[in-house]
Structures are given as C-alpha cells and as structure tokens.
Amino acid sequence: MKPEFYEPIMLGGSNKVGVLLIHGFTGTPKSVEPWAYGLNSAGFTVHVPRLAGHGSDWREMRKSHWGQWLDSVDEALKNLAENVDEIFVAGFSMGGALALRLAEIYPERILGLLLLNPTIYDNHIRMKLSKVLAPIIPSLKSEGTDVAKPGALITSQQRISLHAANSLHKFRNIVRKELSSINMPIKIFLSRQDHVVPPSNGLLIANSVSSENVEITYFSRSYHVVALDYEAEELINESNAFIGRVLEQINENSLNV
C-alpha cells in the first residue's frame, strides 16, 4: 500500500469555517478523500486525522482501543479550532460514532454534524462474541469493500482485530447512552443498500437526539462507502448546502437578538 493511503488530510480554506472529517473502523483518510476535497471546494478548512492504530495491519490495530481513537479526533478538533472560528464535524461509519461523542462532550464548540452511514450498534453474533473470541481467534478476514465502483478500497487491513472490534462495541454503547444530550443540527446520509451498517443505525440516531433540525438523505446507487461510490458528488453538494443553511440560520438568529 502506498504511504499516502495512510496520511492525514489537511486542507486550508478561504473562510473561517472548519470541518473535522473522521474516517471509519479499519479505514484511513483516503476512504473519505473526495468528500474532504469537496468540502474544501466550498471554502471550508478540512482536517481528516488518521485514527490511532489505523493505517497499518491488524496487529497494530489490536494495540489500540476506543479511548485512543477518541483522543485522535479530540486532538484534531483542538488543532482545527486554532485556525477557524466555527466548526462542523463529519463522520463516516465508526467516524459517525466518534463525531457524536465529540458532540456529547463539546456541545458549545460544534455547530452541526454530518453523519454518513453512522454505526452505533451491531447485532451481528460475531460482534457480540468478539470479547469471548478475541483471546482464541485474535483476527478475522476482512470483507474488503462495499462499493459499487470496482477497486475502491475502504480498509487498509486484510484482517480485523477482534480486540479492536470489541472495543468498538463498548464505545458504541457509551455513545448511545448520551444521544439525547445532542441538540445541534444534524445531517444524516444513509445508503439504502448498505452491507456493512444497516440504515436503522441512522434512524435510531435521528429518533434519539434532542435536535430540532435533523435531515436525512438516502442514496440508492451507492453502498457503504458513498465517498468512493457513484453518488459522491451528491454527498458533497448536500453537505455543503447543509452547512450553508446552518450558518445562514445562525446569522439570522444573531441579527434578531
């Protein structure tokens, strides 16, 4: 794998609005790169950190846990805040869970969330047994891709650490418990045909948060990794439009005070 597959993405913008974009479990910034550049094309500063333990093989992933993944995005959020005045957080798959957790921790710092096929639960028996299986079977073969476009990679790893999978399972439980504390605007993107994360995850989020502004957009021609699939342009356009609407509403509210 080429080294640039692992590198964080940092794109300077022409305005004072920033977007922290978070990739998914076993993935790298490369899996959301078109989304990052599309957001940047609207003038936003975009940072895509590489999560701890990601970008290498499953043995390195096995050494990491959800606390370190959260530390990765927490540090990235603070770095982004040094360069912009207003921040949105976007997350893909597990990145969506991390985005939600940041919103729970920093409600005053984040203006809105963009969640692409977010995961906050998994009822697959393999996930439920990950804690028991991890000492016996440390890794399982990765399923690879879930995109309509051939050759699009969503993971840098050929195998998945069950230790890391169990840590993800614990983290999602933590996130779900405090969803009702979130009241900021949220845009949720869901693929109707997602073989990795059922769309019901996104609907559960929409029904659990306290936000008055929750928008849901469905994709019919793309699978899990929309940023590398046929509807990437729609994802970018809808994201930029959502951010624009939120900023416009904030400006209107400030004028009416």
Q: Distance (Å, rounded) from C-alpha 230 to C-alpha 177?
A: 34
Tell me, yes or no, if 124 is annotated catalytic.
no
CA 61, 62, 64, 66 torsion-angle sign: positive
First vs last C-alpha separation in the chain = 54
Catalytic residue among 194, 222, 229, 239: 194
- Distance CA(249)–CA(111), nearest Å, equals 11
Q: Is 144 left (phi over 0), alpha (psi -120 to 50) or beta?
A: left
Would you call 74 a catalytic residue per the annotation?
no
- Tell the residue number behind the tokens 């805040």, with chain if given: 81
CB within 8 A of 237, min separation 6: which ones?
A: 38
| Contacting residues for 193 by C-beta, under 8 A, at least 6 apart | 220, 223
Which of 122, 167, 224, 229 is catalytic? The answer is 224
119 touches 209 (CB < 8 A): no
**Active-site position among 93, 130, 156, 191:** 93
Compute CA distances 8 → 29, 34, 35, 154, whole Å.
Answer: 6, 13, 14, 15
CA trace torsion 174, 180, 185, 191 (10° rounding): 60
27 in Cβ contact with 156 (< 8 Å) = yes
Say whether 224 is catalytic. Answer: yes
Catalytic residues: 93, 194, 224
